[in-house]
Amino acid sequence: MPVTTRPPSGLAAPPDGAPTVRPAQDGTSRPPVPWRTRLRNDRQMLLMMVPGVAFLLLFFYVPILGNVIAFQDYQPYLGIRESEWVGLDNFIGLFDDPDFLNAFSNTLYLAAWQLVFFFPIPLLLAVAVDSLVSGRMRRWFQSVVYLPHFLSWVLVIALFQQLLGGAGLVNNALRHLGADAIPFMTNPDTFPLLVVAQLVWKDAGWAMIIFLAALASIDTSLYEAAAADGAGRWRRLWHITLPALRPVIVLLLILRIGDILSVGFEQFILQRDAVGAQAAEVLDTFTYYSGVVGGGWSVGTAAGLFKGLIGLVLILGANKLAHTFGEAGIYQKRAS
């Protein structure tokens, strides 16, 4: 996506902070602006960044250092400095552990389900919302579909249990009609379906917002011209809407792929007892149970680090792929 930045020059910023436009690159070198002047000119911007940067440093970058315990036999009462170094033992141990392998394969399996069945739905929703003519109707629909995002997983799952659980509304109705209850919530084979259904209900409306923003940026004259040339609804969707959304779709897809092993935590830990660890253990719950609860801090960290590495590889790979297909991806090498 094109990003507008402030000019790296000594041009005085407008006092009201209105966006400035990048000056044309003329290729000639300007005299370098002294460091102190730049600092003075940008001080408001820099000040505004401080909390964000501090937050990132404190809660994202500093804790990364803690990952060294993946290479130790870490004991909380000994601390990082005195715990014994064991090299790659924890990682080797992971791959001998059937529970880890089970969690890993569950994660991949559930991620595939989420990618195939969840990812397209916000797009479809956005297109549907965008096609609503009445502004009031649109706003109402938007609010209705994105409000569930603000409910916690505990509530979402409680709601599903009230509806679909063994003693829930649907099954009670079935029993009254003399039919057998259907184990929606406790059948491990249909668990991926349940998980995706919960995810769609909770988050599809929220994920739709980015697509809606992209849709709003499409020049309406394109639609008018196409309509004047006799293009129907579907042709306009196919030839104008989707191509316009393509960079956003690719961007979100890459981000999703990089994050693919984070299928969720609360959603699974809350339903682990209902369908069993065999179906519901994912990498994040594994890390929690073996690391924090079971005292295997090092093993849990190793699992987390492994997950992070896979994510990094995937995100770089997907970005590379995007470049190959001529998309912007999430970052670009600066053209030299």
Partner 1 sequence: MSSSTNPHLSRRSLLGAFGLITAGVSLASCGSGSSGTGAAVGAGEGAAKSAALKLPTYKEFAGAAPDFPGSAEGLQAGYRKMPTPVASTTAPPLKGRVTALSQTFDTVAPGMKDNAYWQRLNAALGGELDMQIVIDDYPAKHATILASDDLPDLMWLPPNQGIPNVAPMLEAKFQDLTPYLSGDAVLEYPNLAALKPESWKTAIVNGKIWGAPIPSTPFGQVMHGNKTMWDQVGGLQCSSGAEFMEKVKELNDPARNVFALQPAYINVLHMVSQWFGVLVNWMATSDGTLVHRFETDQFKAALDFTSQLFRAGVFYPDANVPDISARLVNGTVAAEVNSGPHDSRKYWDLKPDAQTEILVPFAFEAGITPIYNMGYGTVGFTPFKKADEGKIRELLSLVNWLSAPFGTTEFLQKNYGTEGEDYTLDSEGNPVLNKSGLTNIPGVRSALNIMTSPENVLFFPGHADDVEYVHQQEQKLIAMGWRSATAGTFSDANTKYGPTATSAFYDKVVDIVTGRAKLSELDAAVARWKKDGGDRIRKEYEAVLPEDVRIFPI
By CB under 8 A, name the binding residues for partner 1. 73-79, 83-84, 86, 89, 93-94, 96-100, 103, 161, 165-168, 171-172, 175-176, 181, 183, 185-186, 188, 270, 273-279, 281, 285-286, 289-300
The residue (of 166 and 311) whose beta carbon lies closer to partner 1 is: 166
Minimum Å distance from CB 154 to partner 1?
10
Q: Is the dihedral of CA 34, 39, 45, 50 positive or negative?
A: positive
The residue (of 100 and 211) whose beta carbon lies closer to partner 1 is: 100
Minimum Å distance from CB 286 to partner 1?
7
Minimum Å distance from CB 63 to partner 1?
13
Minimum Å distance from CB 77 to partner 1?
4
Residue whose structure tokens are 């739709």: 208
The string over 110-128, giving b where at least 16 C-beta atoms fall within 10 Å of a residue's C-beta and e elsewhere, is bbebbbebbbebbbebbbe
Interstrand relation of 84-85 and 72-73 (parallel, antiparallel or unpaired): antiparallel
The residue (of 248 and 299) whose beta carbon lies closer to partner 1 is: 299
318: exposed, middle or buried (Cβ count in 10 Å: 0-12, 13-18, 19+): buried
The residue (of 245 and 303) whose beta carbon lies closer to partner 1 is: 303
Q: What are the DSSP calls for 13-24, one per residue?
A: PPTT-----PPP
- What distance in Å separates the CA atoms of residue 321 and residue 21, rounded to the nearest whole number? 32
Rounded alpha-carbon distances, angstroms, from residue 240 to 3, 33, 220, 252: 23, 45, 10, 19
The residue (of 34 and 276) whose beta carbon lies closer to partner 1 is: 276
Minimum Å distance from CB 274 to partner 1?
4
The residue (of 260 and 274) whose beta carbon lies closer to partner 1 is: 274
Minimum Å distance from CB 173 to partner 1?
11
The residue (of 191 and 211) whose beta carbon lies closer to partner 1 is: 191
Residue whose structure tokens are 């897809």: 253
Tokens of 167: 């003693």
- What distance in Å separates the CA atoms of residue 150 and residue 88, rounded to the nearest whole number? 41
